[in-house]
Chains A and B, each alone.
Chain A
């Protein structure tokens, strides 16, 4: 019970009035700064690094935890309200969060995001305390073949996600995969599909694609008609501004799935919050009894990914503990802070400096609680944004998009990319091509390809390596089984539906074949 004692000790030292004050400040600043799309937690932390460093170590790190949570929440806010993906892990919130906002349920969506996140955070801290060594060992056993299996599983979920109009979904996914290969190949140093442009050496920036496809694309779709009335419906009354008991009940499974799955992915070095939230979304959708509601405002579509997001931030401490290496970009910045304070992060951080290690973990949790306390009451104010007439709102959205994308790496090329992908997003919307598979494939693609190539380098091109190693074989097996199962059941459902709809040739893409 050493770990529990340490954790409680961590809480005790983190829980001082000064720390509480600074974590609250952190949450507020993090929220304000994080509103900018492209300025996700890592960049926000980096910008505010000079401020946090000037505080004593424990306080500074706790403030960073507050900033981190604030920025994440801000990302969720812009995704839900304006369909602007605030940062990588909040992209998936656009899929169901924004439709909820359009239906007048922006408040419940944002509230659910905070609440699901809080529940998952609690789970994450507990799991971290008790299961860390076990999970660390498991994570260590995750070599290239295991990653390849995991990515195969992920891509399978993406394919199944696009089961409405399958050809177009497949096309979207393949385009995403193809676009993800643009850049310099790290194995051979060769340029791929860069057409000789130095701006493409590192590949296309994720934020440019996501902001373009979702935010700009939606603006263009709305721009088709004259906007003389608000397109959002903002309900009155506090009751409509928070998730209802029914919502929470409905989301139980999603939160559970998201928390566990997110924790596991977060523990893998290089796992990342984007993968965790994407895959949780796909998993939640696929295990739901009514998957056709997703994409149109299913509250579980917000609860699941947000749970994953939050439990993975606790889990990201595991590679830190076992390898001294940060699991995500935000943790990397926090580590930079540790370095600047003069601490060497790694397995010895907790034994040599327990006064830093455990309070850090406790502070992540405290930051989350503070977020809940401060930001839930602010939701009505945020939702007020939707009342602005759209003709004034959408130019602001476009400007925000430009600033956000430019701020990531000060590149006008990225901005042009965003404009281009905005057009693509518009065309996708018009022609009924789903955009989510493209984006998900874009994220998973490089990880999948690298894992496969690394595995084959290790095994001298012997494909059996994927089944020879136990973990990899298990995941592949599970993927195959689940894939077959879902394929068979969905085909049965699709044949029923298409029989029903056979009498309406002019029916629009409601024939979603689920």
Chain B
């Protein structure tokens, strides 16, 4: 009875829907004007609230406040495989101008320690390094250690007894600890917690004697007098703890130690205008007002490297990390 009109109605519906759908599929990202993307997607390898995620959001917010960008750039959490997922995703966006990613040493370490990772940072286009987060050595406030040399001395007297608490064994703090042990010929235990709250709690409870971390991890506990910071790992002054000396200055010359850097990379074969655009934007960011306060508040140190310098920097970090990882037996399995 209703056959003929029903068939044509149905065909029409299906037809429009398909057209709509096919068109819609392609409409996921914003447009571009003369090579400058209006809405860039920033990929991070942590979940919401994690280190890179917060960093990316802070940077985006600063850029908006300084009127360097107009739109809100969305953050994409690509957490698979501790940066492998993020790298693969970025590599898959080859030739596009609308995606960048925030990188940390994890991007270098993970491929070195895991076999089967077919992607590496060398395939991606470095854009700029922004800052380093100097690592700080901390002990409980009532501890007898005043310098790192004290701790190392004690460790030498009690081999494999003292405890350093930190995150994953392949994280920067663990590698720094291992490098220290190797260079001073001492041994101490490493306790891994995935939760940063539990790390501090361990230190406060006395389960661990030493912890290496970023200023932000310790700043409040130091203010209430529960934790004492005794050294910076690298040879840099830190605004949050200006009176701290470095391990080297305390007499332990152990050579270069891993640094926690933060920067941005883009997909392979990124268009030249886009690369220039991002680089310029970041350069203006670090020279704009508000940047210095941001860096100081977070206990970081500005370390701007443009694309030409960031590439070799990454390579140099990668090489020293490779040597370190190999020496502690964590190389590709």
Contact = CB atoms under 8 A, between A and B. Distances in A.
Partners in one complex: yes
Interface of A: 42-43, 45-46, 49-50, 53, 139-144, 184, 186-191, 196-199, 201-202, 269-270, 319, 323-327, 329, 332-333, 335-336, 339-340, 342, 344, 346-348, 409-411, 413, 450, 454, 457-458
Contact of B169 (A187, A270, A335, A413): A187
Contact of B85 (A269, A319, A326, A411): A411
B275 interface: no
Contacts of A197: 116
Contact of B80 (A50, A189, A411): A411
B200 A202 contact: no
A332 B49 contact: yes
B332 to A, nearest CB: 11
B151 interface: no
B113 interface: yes
B82 interface: yes
Nearest to A330: B49
Given A142-B201, A348-B220, A348-B224, A450 B194 contact: yes
B80 A43 contact: no
Nearest to B89: A410
B289 interface: no
Contact of A46 (B48, B89, B200): B48
A339 B47 CA distance: 16
Max count, chain B CB within 10 A of own CB: residue among A139, A189, A197: A189
A202 B106 CA distance: 14
Interface string B81-101: 110110011000000000000
A269 B192 contact: no
Interface stretch (B50-58, B133-141, B300-308): B50-58
Count class of interface residues, chain B? 35 or more
Given A46-B75, A324-B220, 10 more contacts: A43-B48, A188-B169, A189-B113, A270-B197, A323-B221, A344-B216, A346-B221, A409-B80, A409-B85, A450-B193
B323 interface: no
Contact of A333 (B48, B78, B117, B192): B48
27 contacts: A46-B48, A46-B53, A184-B168, A188-B169, A189-B330, A191-B333, A198-B85, A198-B114, A199-B80, A201-B80, A201-B81, A319-B197, A323-B221, A325-B195, A332-B50, A333-B49, A336-B49, A336-B57, A347-B220, A348-B220, A348-B223, A348-B224, A409-B79, A410-B78, A411-B85, A454-B191, A458-B189
A49 B57 contact: yes
A454 B193 contact: yes
A457 B191 contact: yes
B205 A198 contact: no
Contacts of A49: 48, 57
B115 interface: yes
A184 B114 contact: yes
B296 interface: no
B197 A339 contact: no
Contacts of A199: 80-81, 85
A143 B49 contact: no
B194 A201 contact: no
Contacts of B193: 270, 450, 454
Contact of B81 (A42, A202, A270): A202
Nearest to B200: A323
B85 A458 contact: no
Nearest to B82: A201
Interface in B228-247: none
A198 B47 contact: no
Contact of B221 (A139, A324, A329, A336): A324
A344 B49 contact: no
A340 B61 contact: yes
A188 B192 CA distance: 10
A458 B207 contact: yes
Interface in B151-190: 163, 167-170, 189
A369 B88 CA distance: 45
Contacts of A189: 113, 168-170, 330
A118 B26 CA distance: 45
B204 interface: yes
Contacts of A344: 216, 219-220, 297
Given A187-B192, A344-B219, A198 B202 contact: no
Contacts of B169: 186-189
Contacts of A333: 48-49
Contacts of A201: 80-82, 84, 114
A143 B85 CA distance: 33
Contact of A186 (B168, B189, B197): B168
Contact of A326 (B58, B197, B297): B197
B240 to A, nearest CB: 10
A327 B88 CA distance: 31
Given A46-B48, A187-B192, A458-B163, A53 B61 contact: yes
A152 to B, nearest CB: 18
B220 A346 contact: yes
Contacts of B116: 196-198
A342 B223 CA distance: 18
A18 to B, nearest CB: 23
A458 B61 CA distance: 43
Nearest to B194: A186
Contacts of B248: none
B333 A202 contact: no
B120 interface: no
A20 B207 CA distance: 45
Contacts of A450: 192-194
Max count, chain A CB within 10 A of own CB: residue among B53, B115, B167: B53
A198 B80 contact: yes
Given A184-B114, A329-B47, A409 B78 contact: yes
B76 interface: yes
A184 B82 contact: yes
A143 B207 contact: yes
B48 A198 contact: no
B122 interface: no
Max count, chain A CB within 10 A of own CB: residue among B85, B170, B202: B85
B191 A339 contact: no
A197 B80 CA distance: 11
A42 B53 CA distance: 13
B16 interface: no
Nearest to B58: A340
A140 B49 contact: no
A325 B198 CA distance: 9
Contacts of A325: 195-197, 200
Nearest to A331: B49
Contacts of A191: 114, 333
Contacts of B317: none
B38 interface: no
Given A202-B81, A202-B82, A325-B196, A336 B220 contact: no
B72 interface: yes
B77 interface: yes
A319 B204 CA distance: 13
A199 B81 CA distance: 6
A190 B200 CA distance: 25
B197 A327 contact: yes
A332 B197 CA distance: 11
Nearest to A351: B224
> Can you list the 4 inter-chain pairs with the closest CB atoms, starting with the nearest?
A346-B220, A325-B197, A269-B197, A332-B49
A184 B57 CA distance: 28
